[in-house]
């Protein structure tokens, strides 16, 4: 199978072009460095060709871990046979041609050396046209001796032309000055500047409106206020916007359960379907709309160009905790899921600040915690509104939980910054500011939908098997007659001394133990356990069962604190092991955060049970 290699500088629109060429849904965002791994997909135009998307780099001389991955992968692709490579497409941002040409010249020289054909895709040509500007495509093509295509990855313009060229024969580029230009930075810069000034757009592309938006969003007072408001709306939306969807999913599941469960004759299969499938798996599915909304809103911020400004706003405050403004995006990604957050931390060139960011990310309130928080909030916080109905108490509680989670992450980073290793390499903060863009709602919706689907696919099977095991242990040997004397009841009672100091009975203890596989399993496990216990009752929401289980608000708070701090995600630890190259950090994190979580839960339970 042939390969089409897609390279380009960060934020050149490479991933959007990849999506156009393959029909796939690779994550795109208006923030430099979103693609941190190579991705491959089959070309829409040629099923026998793979399109490979490389992370964006400014130069083939890497200075960060993120760039190293891309540069090494590109050089190893250059070692392939000529027959294997259909072409190398180098994507340039036509509005900032000089920056893209610097990389393009390096790519051209390297491809000339190995005889690979190259196409230059001058992307965002639609933006130039909107401002009545243009690139001299023919002149640039003639000068460099390679095809240059004006492309708009957003509208699909020029994509057919790329496919048409690839299906024919393209001559590889000729070396301009031997290998000199690829190795001499000065010559390369001079050449890129000359080409950009001769063939690039002759006008001012940085719009006045951008400066106006920056004046507001980076204003000393209004900027900070806008930031807090935007972040508050983000968390409020998780409850307010998701509530109708969650109600609809819950109603749907209950309706389905009432139709399906009676089909099975009374017996263990009937009880299994009611308790494990609808009680366990169903309880978890109710929270998927919140993950959809969270991903959508985070995507909205990424696509608009605001996140880069937010990184600037956060830089100084984050420096107080030993982090950098560049830690902001990995940490915010960690709010959706720690795994992309850990990958995104590659954009931090400073090894020391990357290490501190790794420490903070697992403490960010990720979406896997959302079902747990959602359940506990629904059980303990009334669904009332205050201040004229504008602020929901449940949304406010979620905001507070998220805020405390973030503060915990910052404090751990600050502590480790002061006591941790000092000899790690450090590099200063330099961040490209992308132009503001109107977010593509269709792309965002597709991404949020696929993220929700991924969440179900990843967690669903785990929850199913855990529910099956938990249900079997809880149902037998007395066929659901008495949960306390079941196998699970005996195991739980053996574990109870560990959890009784924080006011939790053995059922919560079992749910916590299994949640070390994945946090969201907690909700499914409780759903299964209460399903067995209350099998004679009508199916009611899990939150109602938690409320009537006798658990105190102090224990509820202790549970929140435990889930806020414990490192309970095997996938996150495995990702961290891959990124750091050893199990040392994940193992230390698992033990350290586990002990810290238990201690915090005990302290909170002890204090609040005296106060409440």
Partner 1 sequence: MTAAAPLHITSDLWHMKKGQKGIILGYTDNLAPAIQERLAELGYRPEALVQCTVTPRLGAPKFYRTANSIYSLERDVAEHIKVEIQLG
Please give the residue ranges that form the binding site for partner 1 (CB under 8 A): 58-59, 61, 63, 95-99, 102, 185, 189, 196, 201, 204-206, 211, 214-215, 218-220, 223, 308, 311-313, 315-316, 325, 427-433
For partner 1, the closer CB: 61 or 80:
61
Smallest gap from Cβ 48 to partner 1, in A, equals: 37
Residue 93, judged by CB atoms within 10 A of its CB (0-12, 13-18, 19+), counts as buried
Rounded to whole angstroms, the Cα distance separating 144 from 190 reads: 15
Smallest gap from Cβ 151 to partner 1, in A, equals: 18
For partner 1, the closer CB: 11 or 486:
11
Rounded to whole angstroms, the Cα distance separating 195 from 180 reads: 17
CA-nearest of 121, 168, 116 to 141 is 121
The torsion of the CA quartet 376, 496, 600, 595, rounded to 10 degrees, works out to -120
Report how far apart, in Å, the C-alpha atoms of 388 and of each of 90, 239, 377, 412 are.
55, 18, 21, 38
Rounded to whole angstroms, the Cα distance separating 308 from 311 reads: 5
Smallest gap from Cβ 317 to partner 1, in A, equals: 9
Rounded to whole angstroms, the Cα distance separating 550 from 137 reads: 73
Rounded to whole angstroms, the Cα distance separating 16 from 27 reads: 8
Residue 354 CA from chain centroid, whole number: 17
3-state secondary structure of 233: helix
Asked if 280 and 524 count as a contact pair (C-beta separation under 8 A), the reply is: yes
Smallest gap from Cβ 444 to partner 1, in A, equals: 25
What number of other Cβ atoms are within 10 A of residue 258's Cβ? 12
For partner 1, the closer CB: 327 or 467:
327
Smallest gap from Cβ 34 to partner 1, in A, equals: 17
3-state secondary structure of 8: strand
For partner 1, the closer CB: 305 or 492:
305
For partner 1, the closer CB: 328 or 399:
328
For partner 1, the closer CB: 193 or 496:
193
Smallest gap from Cβ 205 to partner 1, in A, equals: 5
| Residues paired with 51 in a beta bridge | 4, 41
3-state secondary structure of 89: strand
Smallest gap from Cβ 140 to partner 1, in A, equals: 16
For partner 1, the closer CB: 61 or 72:
61
Smallest gap from Cβ 316 to partner 1, in A, equals: 5
Match 């790690």 to its residue by tokens.
Answer: 424
For partner 1, the closer CB: 189 or 270:
189
For partner 1, the closer CB: 58 or 487:
58
Tokens for 126, please give them: 């639609």
Smallest gap from Cβ 159 to partner 1, in A, equals: 24
| Residues paired with 118 in a beta bridge | 88
For partner 1, the closer CB: 14 or 99:
99
Rg (CA), the chain: 27
Exposure of 400 in the CB half-sphere (CA atoms within 13 A): 12
Smallest gap from Cβ 309 to partner 1, in A, equals: 9
Smallest gap from Cβ 32 to partner 1, in A, equals: 10
Smallest gap from Cβ 191 to partner 1, in A, equals: 13
Question: In 115-221, which residue ranges form alpha helices assigned H by DSSP?
Answer: 125-130, 137-144, 159-167, 180-183, 185-199, 208-217
Rounded to whole angstroms, the Cα distance separating 480 from 283 reads: 20
Match 């916590």 to its residue by tokens.
Answer: 512
For partner 1, the closer CB: 16 or 128:
128
For partner 1, the closer CB: 8 or 223:
223
For partner 1, the closer CB: 40 or 133:
133
Smallest gap from Cβ 584 to partner 1, in A, equals: 27
In the chain, what is the straight-line distance between the N-terminal and C-terminal CA atoms, in Å?
67
CA-nearest of 20, 51, 57, 60 to 35 is 57
* CB < 8 Å & 24+ apart, contacts of 581-590: 585/358, 589/359, 589/362
């Amino acid at each position: 199978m042939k390969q089409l290699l897609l390279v380009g500088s960060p934020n050149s629109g490479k991933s959007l072009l990849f999506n156009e060429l393959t029909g796939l849904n690779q994550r795109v965002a208006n923030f430099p460095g979103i693609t941190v791994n190579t991705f491959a997909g089959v070309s829409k135009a040629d099923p026998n060709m793979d399109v490979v998307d490389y992370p964006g780099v400014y130069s083939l001389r890497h200075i960060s871990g993120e760039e190293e991955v891309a540069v090494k992968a590109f050089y190893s692709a250059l070692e392939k046979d000529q027959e294997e490579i259909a072409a190398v497409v180098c994507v340039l941002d036509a509005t900032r041609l000089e920056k893209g040409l610097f990389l393009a010249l390096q790519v051209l020289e390297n491809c000339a050396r190995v005889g690979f054909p190259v196409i230059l895709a001058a992307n965002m040509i639609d933006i130039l046209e909107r401002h009545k500007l243009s690139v001299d495509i023919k002149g640039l093509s003639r000068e460099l001796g390679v095809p240059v295509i004006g492309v708009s990855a957003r509208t699909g313009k020029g994509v057919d032309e790329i496919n048409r060229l690839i299906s024919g024969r393209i001559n590889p580029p000729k070396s301009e000055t031997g290998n000199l230009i690829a190795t001499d930075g000065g010559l390369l810069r001079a050449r890129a500047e000359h080409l950009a000034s001769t063939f690039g757009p002759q006008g001012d592309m940085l719009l006045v409106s951008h400066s106006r938006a920056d004046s507001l969003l980076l204003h000393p007072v209004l900027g900070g206020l806008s930031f807090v408001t935007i972040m508050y709306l983000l968390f409020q939306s998780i409850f307010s916007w998701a509530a109708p969807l969650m109600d609809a999913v819950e109603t749907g599941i209950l309706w389905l359960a009432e139709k399906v469960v009676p089909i099975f004759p009374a017996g263990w299969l009937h009880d299994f379907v009611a308790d494990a499938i609808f009680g366990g798996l169903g309880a978890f599915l109710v929270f998927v709309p919140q993950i959809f909304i969270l991903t959508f809103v985070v995507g909205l911020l990424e696509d608009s160009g605001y996140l880069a400004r937010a990184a600037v706003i956060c830089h100084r405050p984050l420096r107080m905790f030993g982090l950098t403004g560049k830690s902001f995006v990995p940490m915010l990604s960690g709010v959706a899921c720690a795994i992309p957050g850990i990958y995104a931390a590659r954009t931090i060139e400073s090894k020391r600040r990357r290490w501190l960011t790794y420490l903070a990310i697992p403490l960010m309130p990720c979406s896997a915690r959302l079902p747990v928080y959602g359940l506990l909030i629904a059980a303990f916080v009334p669904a009332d509104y205050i201040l004229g109905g504008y602020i929901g108490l449940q949304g406010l509680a979620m905001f507070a939980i998220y805020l405390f989670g973030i503060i915990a992450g910052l404090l751990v980073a600050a502590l480790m910054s002061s006591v941790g290793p000092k000899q790690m390499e450090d590099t200063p903060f330099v961040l490209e500011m992308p132009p503001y863009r109107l977010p593509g709602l269709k792309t965002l919706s597709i991404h949020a939908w696929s993220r929700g689907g991924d969440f179900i696919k990843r967690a669903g099977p785990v929850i199913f098997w855990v529910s099956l095991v938990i249900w079997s242990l809880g149902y037998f040997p007395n066929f659901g007659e008495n949960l306390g004397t079941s196998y699970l009841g005996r195991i739980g009672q053996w574990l109870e001394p560990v959890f009784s100091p924080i006011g939790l009975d053995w059922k919560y203890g079992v749910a916590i133990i299994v949640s070390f596989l994945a946090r969201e399993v907690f909700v499914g496990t409780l759903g299964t356990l209460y399903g067995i216990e209350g099998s004679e009752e009508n199916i009611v929401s899990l939150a109602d069962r938690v409320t009537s289980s006798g658990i105190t608000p102090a224990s509820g708070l202790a549970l929140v604190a435990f889930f806020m701090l414990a490192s309970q995600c095997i996938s996150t630890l495995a990702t961290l092991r891959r990124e750091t190259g050893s199990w040392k950090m994940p193992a230390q994190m698992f033990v350290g955060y586990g002990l810290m979580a238990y201690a915090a839960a005990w302290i909170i339970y002890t204090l609040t049970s005296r106060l409440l």
